[in-house]
Amino acid sequence: EVQLVESGGGLVQPGRSLKLSCAASGFTFSSFAMAWVRQAPKKGLEWVATITSGGSNTYYPDSVKGRFTISRDNAKSTLYLQMDSLRSEDTATYYCAKDLTTRVSWYFDFWGPGTMVTVSS
């Protein structure tokens, strides 16, 4: 059974940093691209970052480019999101998501339960 479990969320002041983790199990983690998707309170879904299976390529929307860094440790089956220079508009639940195919397909067949990040002074 595929499982994705995020951790590392919490309350952080604007301008500070936070690092999220996502522990994966139940599939061959190193074979799949992975992503982070966020959802602001009572709002819709926004893609945040994608990383290829081997970790060599990463992709971001303009809203987080230069501030967020996605990475992975295939030996530990863990995905990360380093978030720097946080802003109030980054407040959201952050979901770890598995790409459907072994290449970057940009759609996601399994999601973790999410971890909440609140950026506030």
Q: Which residues bind another protein (CB under 8 A)?
A: 37, 44-47, 59, 61, 95, 100, 105-114
> CA-CA distance, 2 to 18, in Å (whole number)?
26
> CA-CA distance, 30 to 102, in Å (whole number)?
9
* Least distance to another protein, CB of residue 11, Å: 20
Toward another protein, which CB reaches closer, 14 or 113? 113
* Least distance to another protein, CB of residue 26, Å: 13
Is there a contact between 26 and 1 (Cβ–Cβ < 8 Å)? yes
Toward another protein, which CB reaches closer, 15 or 27? 27
Toward another protein, which CB reaches closer, 35 or 119? 35
Separation in Å, CA 2 to CA 17, 29, 68, 83? 29, 10, 26, 26
* Least distance to another protein, CB of residue 29, Å: 18
Is there a contact between 60 and 46 (Cβ–Cβ < 8 Å)? no
